[in-house]
Structure 1
Amino acid sequence: MAWAIGAGSSGATPFAPAVGANAISVMRAGFVVGLLGLAGAVLQGQNVTEAVGTELVVGQPLTATAATIGLLTAAGLVAIGVFTGYPIATAFTATGAVIGVGIALGGGPAWAKYQEIAALWVLTPFVGGGTAYATARLLRDERYPERVVVPLLAAVVGVIVANIEFALLGSADGSASVAATVGEATDLDAVAGDLVGVALVSLAIGVASAAVLAREMREDADAAQRHFLLALGVLVAFSAGGSQVGLAIGPLVPLLDDVSLPLWALLVGGGVGLLVGSWTGAPRMIKALAQDYSSLGPRRSIAALIPSFAIAQVAVAFGVPVSFNEIIVSAIVGSGYAAGGSGVSRRKMGYTVFAWAGSLTLAFAVSYGVFLAVQAVL
């Protein structure tokens, strides 16, 4: 399952806009995204992993047989999408498969968690696509010079980075953000309060990010935009690892006590699976997203990646499984329509939306039916 996700969702989508803008080659993107996905899985994968493993069904933990059937079902459907060139929504597929086997096992629906998941899934195309559209229009507006707008966007990204949480910065019981850690280390939280301290550190990081990019923009605007685009690809790839690894290894969480395996070891194993998938299978999907969905330039690619990064980090923070194909494709289309829809393949998008809608239902039905059949035989 981790291989299928690395080859498709987390491996292909983060750098697809950068490849479409000719900022990085297809093969180099696949190599880099694998390493970043591994890092994200280890440093940020805990929340989504635990949610997929323990929060989708109530009253009945997954057994080894149920986890096996759920993962085989989800991995098979995702692999079909990889080899046919149509991105299956990985979170839809994995979530449907886990719920299917969990219900067949005798568990009950976790309605509160489903509402949280559905809200993010429904809002993602509108928020991500809308933000990408607005950002792309802003970058195209001649009234606002790029040497001002691009550094301001870098400041926004810097503030987000300052507030994402990493396992290495937290205590044994949780993670912490860069802003919170610096605020504590410099006693800003003691002097001004926790929230004010975090806000001041975040603002400082945002200003520093804007200053660095503003300097580059003065020297070479085109090169500065490419560097910013690649930095965004790095952040999205890291976020993909933190989010998507849970879809692969989450069903194994209820089994950890039986084999005396710590969660961090499972995260490392899942991260390695993402890495191998990115290196061996991602180039095909990178090409499909970069060239088939929209002809992207650097400005539209930047517009697509900023909301993608923000949405991914929201999902990681709340432990909600989310499809990176849905995030990136929505943002790509939004930025494409900012240029009048040029290069956006409506036919391809129609097939993709149909695949998204059908993947959740199909995964649920197949995993539910297969588990009942296996249970009857055994």
Structure 2
Amino acid sequence: MTDPQPQQNQWKTLDKDLSRLVVLEQATAFLSRPLIAVGVALAFVAICALAAAMFTGGAPNSMIIIAAAAFGAYMALNIGANDVANNMGPAVGANALTMGGALIIAAVFETAGALIAGGDVVSTISGGIVAPSAVAEPHVFIWAMMAALIAASLWLNLATWLGAPVSTTHAIVGGVMGAGIVAAGFGAVDWGKMSQIAASWVISPILGGVVAAAFLAFIKGRINDVEDKISAARFWVPILIGIMAGTFATYLSIKGLKKVIDVSMGSALLLGLVIGLLSVLATRPIIRRQSEGMENRKKSLKALFGMPLVISAALLSFAHGANDVANAVGPLAAIVHAVADGGTAEKVQIPLWVMLIGAGGISFGLTLFGPKLIRMVGTEITKLNPMRAYCVALSAAITVIVASWLGLPVSSTHIAVGAVFGVGFYREWNAERKSRRSGIIKGKPVAPEERARRKLVRRAHVLSIGAAWVITVPLTALLSAGIFVVLNWLG
């Protein structure tokens, strides 16, 4: 009779080998995920280039349009990867949305905003940064737009990889400025406009932070810190939802629906007031019903802000798609116009196939590469809950409206991220104020040295994001200038 022990050892060895293979397969799959995303992105760029080839139909200089379509798709991918995090990050960080849910909502509403209300007409020289007459030669104009597109795309790609949310508008403006200076000299640049953009680096985040902190202070004072929290919530939450509804009605009227309906600021504000009042009346019974049986504590209140936060994130995505799609397809449309008509008109109509490239690229970029910055904005700067995230979303819309009314050039990216910082710094200031009075943090005595060490906002992100904002325009300008020289020499 043979001993079964060697057979058992044999199977034991085989099990160990199979386990090692499973671990190796898992590690390979984990490492290959980024490569899959890059592969899908490259496939999308190639499809856009092929689509451009079909629409140009072998026309003269069609290769220029095909190359511009590829770079326009690349730019749209980077806008989706970097810029959309500002809209969805707070909702994800507050656990009002899962990452998957945020990606789906953002993709749908960004695409809808881009196709329904985006890109009716776009200034070929990016809002008057460079005078069209200064680059009247079509071939010089084409290479300038191409250089701006490539430079802005490369910087956005690098910023996303570094985890820095930056302004796509500032990136394309810097690109146009750099190429324009090389093409037509410093005198061609509207330096007054550039000084306004530089001022917005300070104005945007401060305005966003102050408005968000003010709303958070109001919620804490009127709802969170009162004795009967549920009754206070039943009164104030519908009013806050009404403010949100009215604000977004005004926001979308003046910023996101220009193609569908053109309204003045006064009409937009009146429309917002009416919708806000109707929203208060409609949501008051809903909030009363939702709050029945809730415990009288802060944690219960968070549920009342969940759905309004999701809706605000969706509306911000719609408005973003309507406005920022032009950053991807504006230079592409200008190149198509210059090649087809041989001119550098002040404004051009964006063809539908160009809009589809922009809308599709933003959605693909968000889905493939967006989660990194969504997590950074939502969880890594400061801790958010539905109430704090709601203040961020509301601040973003209100600040854009106020800035438009005052004629201030502001960046939606800077406003949203500034609002997150504002919420965090307000919490930090409020906690320090309370601890100075009692020497207690969360029920525990804490020494002054320990209080000073405890920070609710990560300082590293303040410095890194601020630095990325400041260098966006000069860096893309230098990069674009170099690319223009190369393209002009090759052309």
1:263 aligned to 2:315? no
Q: State the identity %.
A: 26
The answer to whether the 8 A contact 1:44-1:166 is kept is no
TM-score, length basis structure 1? 0.84
The answer to whether the 8 A contact 2:253-2:261 is kept is yes
The structure with higher relative contact order (CA 8 Å, sep 6+) is 1
Alignment of 1:329-340 (within 5 A): 329-340=417-428
Select 1:302's aligned residue among 379, 382, 390.
Answer: 390
1:354 aligned to 2:467? yes
Looking at structure 2, the residues matched to 316 and 274 of structure 1 have their Cα atoms a distance apart, in angstroms, of 25
The answer to whether the 8 A contact 1:47-1:316 is kept is no
1:160 aligned to 2:253? no
Looking at structure 2, the residues matched to 125 and 170 of structure 1 have their Cα atoms a distance apart, in angstroms, of 26
State the 1:320 CA deviation: 8.6
Q: Relative to 1, partners in 2 of residues 1:120 and 1:271: Cα closer, same or farther, differing over 3 Å? A: same
Question: Looking at CA atoms only, which structure, 1 or 2, has the larger radius of gyration?
Answer: 2
Alignment of 1:276-295 (within 5 A): 276-295=364-383
Alignment of 1:58-77 (within 5 A): 58=131, 59-61=133-135, 63-77=141-155
67-76 or 159-168, which deviates more: 159-168
Q: Which secondary structure does the structure 2 equivalent of 1:53 belong to?
A: coil
Gaps of 5+ in 1: 181-193
Gaps of 5+ in 2: 1-74, 292-301, 342-347, 430-454
1:243 aligned to 2:323? yes
Alignment of 1:55-94 (within 5 A): 55-58=128-131, 59-61=133-135, 63-94=141-172
Say what the alpha-carbon RMSD is for the aligned residues: 3.1
Superposed CA offset, 1:155-185 (max 9, x none): 22222333333899778xx7335xx8xxxxx
1:97 aligned to 2:175? yes
Looking at structure 2, the residues matched to 205 and 365 of structure 1 have their Cα atoms a distance apart, in angstroms, of 46
State the 1:80 CA deviation: 1.2
State the 1:23 CA deviation: 0.4
Q: Which secondary structure does the structure 2 equivalent of 1:65 belong to?
A: helix
State the 1:74 CA deviation: 1.0
Q: Relative to 1, partners in 2 of residues 1:314 and 1:305: Cα closer, same or farther, differing over 3 Å? A: same
Superposed CA offset, 1:267-308 (max 9, x none): 333112111111211112111111111110111111111111
**Residue 175 (structure 1) aligns with:** 261
| Aligned amino acid, residue 123 of structure 2 | E
Looking at structure 2, the residues matched to 36 and 320 of structure 1 have their Cα atoms a distance apart, in angstroms, of 26
**Residue 325 (structure 1) aligns with:** 413
245-254 or 74-83, which deviates more: 245-254
Looking at structure 1, the residues matched to 474 and 400 of structure 2 have their Cα atoms a distance apart, in angstroms, of 23
Select 1:7's aligned residue among 66, 78, 81.
Answer: 81
The answer to whether the 8 A contact 2:122-2:349 is kept is no
1:46 aligned to 2:123? no
TM-score, length basis structure 2? 0.66
Alignment of 1:359-374 (within 5 A): 359-374=472-487
